[in-house]
A and B are shown apart, each in its own frame.
Chain A
């Protein structure tokens, strides 16, 4: 599955990856507590040489083809350039999953400091509050 140091995508399996991702989350966001019960059912982890390096979830609304990217996170102490590249791959994979389920719109509700990165990925932000970003998948 893994060739060299290329990242491959795997489903998020709570028993396998939960502890690692919770540790990342608590290290990166000590002011909040990681709540596994709040995670949407569709989650993926990025693996490099079989070890998790990033995780992200997709909350799929019922009846409307809109899915939200949730709780993207990378392994702490990852170089910014690598973290961005890995998140782009994670978003691409989640977009592919969304499309496979006939969901045509991705949405994000990010913190202000990552808006630029998300805009460079193709998200357009709502012009009044600038809080919600959307990306058409087709």
Chain B
């Protein structure tokens, strides 16, 4: 039995070293596993960051396109108002021409009536330069003048109303255009800011993934260092065992 004892000692020492080897492998393997997990997570973070960037950029582009489309539509609306204003002005001018012609026609008609009155007075043998005939002629002339003035006033009123309407329409068009321009500018600026935010979010995501990767690398390095430390302590204790059994 006594000759077996030293051998047992050597076997125990060897087992300690083998144990340390296995333990060293485990620490190293754990570090590697952590690094692989970190790399996997980092790759996913990068993928997500890219996907998010694409989504946000697409959204910003859509926002810009939508703003342009809205602007174009409202610009057309404003143009329609301008066209409407021009049309009302044309209508006013046309009506003016008609009114002038009507006025002229009415004046001629009334003058013709006045001439008939004059002829009737002359036929009756009365003198038109005094008494009732003069009064009749004077009244007829006054009526014609009043009628002409009233017609003229009414025509002017109609004309100014149409021009005012045209002016209001044009003003509406200008305001609509100004509003559309303002909205478009605001939307385009907002889209630009969203684009910048997308880029910034992407960079943040990429930095996050870099940090994740670095964390994995650190875990792998720590695993290597621990492996070395375990191996040293294992060899140390193995040597200690050997020394102890040699002394026995």
The distance from the CB of B205 to the nearest CB of chain A, in whole angstroms, is 7
Which residue of A1, A89, A97 is within 8 Å of B36 (Cβ)? A97
Which residue of A4, A6, A10, A41 is within 8 Å of B37 (Cβ)? A10
A-B pairs with CB below 8 Å: how many? 45
Map CB proximity to A onto B38-72 as digits: 1 under 8 Å, 0 otherwise.
01110011001000000000000000000000000
Which residue of A6, A93, A101 is within 8 Å of B32 (Cβ)? A101
Range class of the A interface residue count: 10 to 19
- Taking a contact as CB atoms under 8 Å apart, the answer to whether B208 and A9 are in contact is no
The A contact surface, by secondary structure, is mixed
- Taking a contact as CB atoms under 8 Å apart, the answer to whether B32 and A100 are in contact is yes
> For chain A residues 86-106, which have a beta carbon within 8 Å of chain B?
89, 92-93, 96-97, 99-101
The distance from the CB of A95 to the nearest CB of chain B, in whole angstroms, is 9
The answer to the question of B16 belonging to the interface, with a C-beta cut-off of 8 Å to chain A, is no
The answer to the question of B29 belonging to the interface, with a C-beta cut-off of 8 Å to chain A, is yes
The B contact surface, by secondary structure, is helix
- Taking a contact as CB atoms under 8 Å apart, the answer to whether A3 and B45 are in contact is yes
Range class of the B interface residue count: 10 to 19
- Taking a contact as CB atoms under 8 Å apart, the answer to whether B44 and A44 are in contact is no
The distance from the CB of B63 to the nearest CB of chain A, in whole angstroms, is 21
Q: A9-B40, A93-B37, A97-B37 are in contact. Are A3 and B48 (CB under 8 A)?
A: yes
Residues of A within 8 Å of B45, CB to CB, are 3
> Which residues of A are at the interface with B, using a C-beta cutoff of 8 A?
1, 3-4, 6, 8-11, 41-42, 44, 89, 92-93, 96-97, 99-101
